[in-house]
Amino acid sequence: MGKADDSSRSPAHTKGVSPRYPIVLTSVVSLTLGVALASFSLLHGGKHHAEVHRVGRLPVMGYNTWNAYHCNINETLILETAQLVKSLGLADVGYNYVNVDDCYSEKKRSEDGDIIADKKRFPSGMKWLTDQIHGLGLKAGIYSDAGWFTCALYPGSFQNEARDAKLFREEWGFDLLKYDNCAVPFDKITRENIIGRYTRMADAIAAQAKVSGKPPLLLSLCEWGREQPWLWARRLGQSWRTTNDITPDWPSIASIIDQNSFYSWASDFYGHGDLDMLEVGNGDLTFEEAKAHFTVWSFLKSPLLIGTHLADATPETLEILKNTEVIAINQDPVVGTAVTPFRWGINPDWTANASFPAQYWSGESQNGTVFMLLNTLDEPADMFFNLTESPWIRAGRQYSVRDLWTHSDNGTAVRNLTVANVPPHGVVALLLRDAGDEPAGIEPQCAVREWCMDKNGTFV
């Protein structure tokens, strides 16, 4: 699939066959590694809280309780989960947040107006819990809502923003706030839309941090992609949800990928599109689907929040979650931008299709050009592209090929690359490093043949 009639798109030789998908390279020479450091630029859209306080430079990594437990949480479960994050080696590869989602509180505030932790499920109190989490060398996150109530109908923070920001940060000791979008007050009360309601909490967090002199809460906006948050949310917080809630099945994963193909460009340092919490280890996702899910979330610079029951996590689940070569792209300290599609593949470019999203993606990293290939079909497929279809590849150069899932070096690519037999709903994650000038005698003279011309004025 994806092959053109142009002879410059035809592969020539094969080398470096991986255990799962053979990679076919047009020209093969001895592997030479060359690191091309990529530059980056921050998005600027006016003065906003994330820039002022400089928190949340990289996407958050950690654990969130919702996907695995919903409302069935208590302090024992959360502390055991935090201990598993440590003992399973997840903290060692970057997962350092343990976030408490909805349903942790009493149904009503105290007489003084404060949110109260559920006395039965959190008898030791939230400060005790965050002290235990911090004692493990981890950070802690909490949850609230920009409306009257949370989505499970516990107290929200509308008209209590300053009180709650102080409670969460100063009194309870949390480091992150996930802020939902349920129980919206009537317009005649707010005279505001989503931006206005989220600005109230962003301002409260900024004011609280100024008074305390401590770093502010990281603010994770959970408004499901309403009102195009990729255009404005980075002014208020460090991440913004881009779609409706995820479920642990391929149609949900594919739909989220499809929607994000049109605005993954908006992610950069201090502002990250949030594709929702990970479902790796949940539902009926196959191993290949879970790998694809994790790769997309990592390469699009989404927060990586585990949401499975860690005590029963399989070796395959941990293998995916602990792939340090994939995580390194998500946590790149030099390049903050996400990968974007350069060809949709099955569908015409820039065409939305919830079942068959864009297949060919690329982006920059500190160590080379990242490529992500998605087989969205229900059967194995060969996937082919010209290197210069990516804007981050230089013409006239050859590139060493590193497979980030097989952890293998696969020779050197010149102009074209084919990956054979990609599994259904599978992914290929490649890092291409500049390896010098391409060999002499490669025809045609230009990898991109449009207006390719000799200095004497003749077309090649």
Catalytic residue among 164, 180, 258, 403: 180
Distances (CA, A) of 378 to 279, 308, 375, 421: 20, 25, 8, 12
CB 100 within 8 A of CB 142: yes
Encoding tokens for residue 430?
Answer: 């490649």
Query: 3-class SS at 97?
Result: strand
> Residue 230 is which amino acid?
W
Encoding tokens for residue 254?
Answer: 């594919």
CB 84 within 8 A of CB 76: no
Q: How far is CA 78 from the centre of its chain?
A: 24
- Which regions of 205-335 does DSSP assign to beta strands (E)? 218-221, 239-241, 272-274, 304-306
> Residue 324 is which amino acid?
T
Cis peptide before 248 (omega within 30 of 0): no
CA-wise closest residue to 385 among 23, 28, 33, 36? 23
Bin 270: left if φ > 0, else alpha if -120 < ψ < 50, else beta.
Answer: left
CB 214 within 8 A of CB 231: no
Note if 102 is an active site residue.
no
Phi first, then psi: what are they for 266, rounded to 5°? -80, -15
Bin 57: left if φ > 0, else alpha if -120 < ψ < 50, else beta.
Answer: alpha
Q: How many distinct helices (H) and strands (E) make up the chain?
A: 11, 18
Note if 249 is an active site residue.
no
Bin 213: left if φ > 0, else alpha if -120 < ψ < 50, else beta.
Answer: left
Catalytic residue among 118, 245, 249, 382: 245
Q: Which residues are catalytic?
A: 180, 245
